[in-house]
Amino acid sequence: MKRIGIITIGQSPRPDVIEEIQRVIGGEYEIVEKGALDDYLPEELGKIKLQPGERLLVTRLRNGQEMKVSHEFIVSKIQNCVDYLEEKNIEIILLLCTGKFPDFNSKHLIIQPSEIVRGTIAASLRRGKLAVILPAKEQIPKMASDLYGLELKVYYDSASPYGSINEVENMAKRVSKENVDLVFLNCMGFTHKMKLIVKEITKKPVIQSSTLVGRVLMEIVE
């Protein structure tokens, strides 16, 4: 059985996202997970605070709780996750986040979803209006400077994939009024159910990050 290493920026396991990926790649692969926050106790997690000017990431803990943490803090933990998976002889590693990250030291492939979604959007929509949906509204100011290098109008909105489904529905209703050409769910935590809700309400094509990345992963491991 082929083995795939998956690094979450929160805590493992992440059955919510793994199920979405396995829906695409099938169940014949062994998934070995490692989380950037796996070694932290609940009381230690409560002491991790965002500092002014730091970029925000949104993730999930193993108890299902949403957690907001700085990009800089998570980057400092990911190399340890890579090293852990390489010690287990994992040859393909997927980073479970659509944010931008630096290169990490590895003898094997590390798949970064940010580059996959960037290329897909570029191939799908050269001009027009793109809706980018983030998991937290606090992320919007930082994202506004990143238009994927394309000649696009971008509408930003947010909804937590870890909260009430009503939040996703309300977001979709706002997007439906913006006359966009394509909707991008910019978080690996958004599910197929959420995609269908957004597609039904907006009547527009929707890119779901986890399944898009899963299809690329399948091409690599097949």
pLDDT of residue 147: 53
Sign of CA dihedral 119, 120, 124, 127: negative
Query: If residue 75 lies in a helix (H) or strand (E), which one and from where to where?
Result: helix 71-87
In this prediction the pTM is: 0.92
Question: What does the pLDDT read at residue 146?
Answer: 58
Cα(10)–Cα(62) distance, rounded to whole angstroms? 8
147 shares its domain with 196: yes
pLDDT at site 104: 96
Per the prediction, the chain carries an average pLDDT of 93
In a shared domain, residues 98 and 130: no
pLDDT tens string 180-215: 999 999 999 999 999 999 999 999 999 999 999 999
Give the mean model confidence (pLDDT) for residues 142-166: 82
- Same domain for 124 and 83: no
State the CB neighbour count (10 A cutoff) for residue 130: 21
Report whether pLDDT(154) > 60.
yes
Residue 141 shares a structural domain with residue 101 = no
The reply to whether 170 and 185 lie within a common domain is yes
Is 76 found in the same domain as 31?
yes
The domain spanning residue 9 has which CATH number?
3.40.50
Average pLDDT over residues 113-140: 93
Q: Does the structure show a pLDDT above 60 at 148?
A: no
Based on the domain organization, do 92 and 156 belong to the same domain?
no
171 and 215 both lie in a single domain: no
Q: What is the pLDDT of residues 28-69, one digit of tens each?
A: 899 999 999 999 998 898 888 888 888 999 999 999 999 999
Identify the pLDDT of residue 1: 67
Same domain, 75 and 145: no
| Same-domain pairing of 126 and 44 | no
Residues 176 and 156 reside in one and the same domain = yes
Domain with 125 in it: 115-208
- The stretch 73-79 carries a mean pLDDT of 95
